Amino acid sequence: MSTRTRAAVCWEVGRPWEIVDCTVPDPRAGEVLVKLEYAGLCHSDDHNVTGDFPANLPVVGGHEGAGVVVAVGEGVDRVAVGDSVMLLPLPTCGACRYCADGRTHLCDKNLDVMTGARADGSFGFITSEGREIGAYGQLGTFSEYTLVQEIRVQRYERDIPAQVAAVTSCAVITGYGSAVRGAGIRDGDTAVVVGTGGVGMSAVMGAVIAGAANIVAVDPVEFKREQALKFGATHTAASVEEAQGIVSELTRNRMADSAIITVGVLHGDMIGPVSRLVSKGGNVVVTAVAPVTENTVSLPLVEFAMSAKNLIGVVMGLTRPLADIERIYALYRGGRLPLDNLVTRTYKLDDINRGYEDMHKGLNLRGVIAF
């Protein structure tokens, strides 16, 4: 048998999301069928439409979400039918070299993430015309139902709201981890976060938990700067240039210990100016997606090298989801991470294009689809 579903498909670059009737096959060995409750409208999915960093198209979008397990394939033991689960953009197989030494964000099973294909080369979504379509990030959360590998789900307790679980699966662990792991923020540090959408605001929260004395949030959108102060930022700036003077004054011209770049679309000419916000020995953390065709960076090389600064690439916050998510939820339960406030607006699946329009207008920290 198969399960009927409605899903948002990106057919080609430049074409808006289209809601399509599909079927999802029953799970095979190692697979899990999930009924989605919420899916986050992450900027990464929009890169399929804009062409900045597209997957193999056409594709069912969505890589951030939470739902309930409705069926499992042979050999599945990580979750059971009825479990509430988060869908993880990066797998944790537990067997490869990187999982074995604690770097599960580099799991070898992520090699096929952008193909959207199942292990045998088939696809998990089939249109009413019989066309097979892949799942973005091997998840495809912009769908009422989706079929995923067991290693890409994580069970969570239902005292956590489903919409919080959905955004935690990507935005929160990526931003939070960028601060506490990527930047290595310590008590008394001065940190800068450039770009304060869902990931950037999670970096602000992470900097608070890590003990930063000064947190400068940089964003051209006034609404986001106002919200950043509510999430724990101590200062805001509308541009990197404006932040330069603020950071200099706060640190007596020593400059920040770290700067985290969490903009929606990264360009190479952004990194040089941000690096000048950072002190000797400081960290410039890159947590953003650049256009796939862009491969040059503008960086003051002598200044950067002679000051022993560090340029750090970050994927999924360098976190270990099976362990770190429980720590994040402990902080949430204790009232120290205001994750509820990260969800700005809720949309129906049919309104997905309006949700992304609102994102581009700067109206949301994180919009979510409610199924």
Domains of the chain: 2-155+338-370 (3.90.180.10), 175-315 (3.40.50.720)
Please determine, for residue 114, whether its predicted confidence score (pLDDT) is greater than 90: no
DSSP string over 35-52: EEEEEE--HHHHHHHHSS
pLDDT in tens, 39-64: 999 999 999 999 999 899 999 999 99
Average of per-residue pLDDT values in the chain: 96
The per-residue pLDDT for 288 is 94
pLDDT at 167: 98
Provide mean pLDDT across the span 171-185: 97
pLDDT above 90 as % of the chain: 91
Kindly tell me if the per-residue pLDDT of 258 is higher than 90. yes
What integer pLDDT is reported at residue 119 of this predicted model? 82
Phi then psi for residue 182, to 5 deg, are: -60, -55
pLDDT attached to residue 35: 98
Q: pLDDT-based confidence at 322, cuts 50/70/90?
A: confident
pTM comes to 0.96
Q: What percent of the chain has pLDDT over 70?
A: 100
Please give the C-alpha separations between residue 296 and each of 195, 259, 268, 292, in angstroms, as whole numbers: 21, 20, 6, 11
